[in-house]
Amino acid sequence: MNIGENLKRLRIANSLTQQELADRCELTKGYISQLERDLTSPSIATLTDILECLGTDLGSFFNEAVDIKIVFKEEDVFVKESDDNYKINWIVPNAQKNKMEPILVELGANSRTKDDEPHEGEEFGYVLSGTIMLNYGNQIYKVKKGESFYIKTNKTHFIENTSKNPARVIWVSTPPNF
């Protein structure tokens, strides 16, 4: 079996770049590149982690029939912390192959996400705690705990927390974009 080729096929099917997969697996882009070109072989533990990030497991990868995962537990969550005092939690790890992708964004005090440039699709957010500012084109909207937002993604947008208290937001993108 050509493991590298199959990993690449799965990565592309999940619409992930090598860097995005590397971030989710806490590996380097170079290592993912080497795996896909069969220049190195992963340990079973590393292969298991990569496959989990790609929404599958060893059994499915090696062509055994496995049920589709419906319920995701805390240990399924993949977390990426940024240098800008915010975290992205992929709460459904294989969502890139679905029509929508939910994440949990945790914004520390006085922090913001990166600009999301215009793209096709729609996004929905629900503030679980704190208050955020939704920057959408040249408009700014205050969104408090228990409130939500729904936008077309045809304008540059990002969220920020201008307060001293942390904020948590469920954010769903369709098609997957995070």
Q: State the pairing for strand pair 139-144/101-107.
A: unpaired
Percent of the chain past pLDDT 70, that is, above it, reads 95
Whose tokens are 């974009």? That residue is 177
Q: pLDDT grade, residue 1 (50/70/90)?
A: low
Whose tokens are 């619409």? That residue is 15
Q: pLDDT grade, residue 84 (50/70/90)?
A: confident
For residues 74 and 58, give the distance between their C-alpha atoms in angstroms, rounded to a whole number.
20
Whose tokens are 């192959």? That residue is 97
Classified as helix, coil or strand, 111 is strand
Supply the pLDDT for residue 78: 86
Mean pLDDT score, 161-169: 96
Q: pLDDT grade, residue 97 (50/70/90)?
A: confident
- For 34, 86, 145, 147, the CA distances from 166, given in Å and listed in that order, are 39, 9, 11, 16
pLDDT digit string (tens) for 34-81? 999 999 999 999 999 999 999 898 888 886 444 567 888 888 888 888
Supply the pLDDT for residue 64: 46
Handedness of CA 92, 96, 102, 105 (dihedral sign): positive
Query: Edge-to-edge strands of the sheet including 111-112?
Result: 111-112, 157-161, 131-136, 139-144
Q: Are 147 and 120 in contact (CB under 8 A)?
A: no
Tell me the pTM. Answer: 0.63
Supply the pLDDT for residue 68: 63
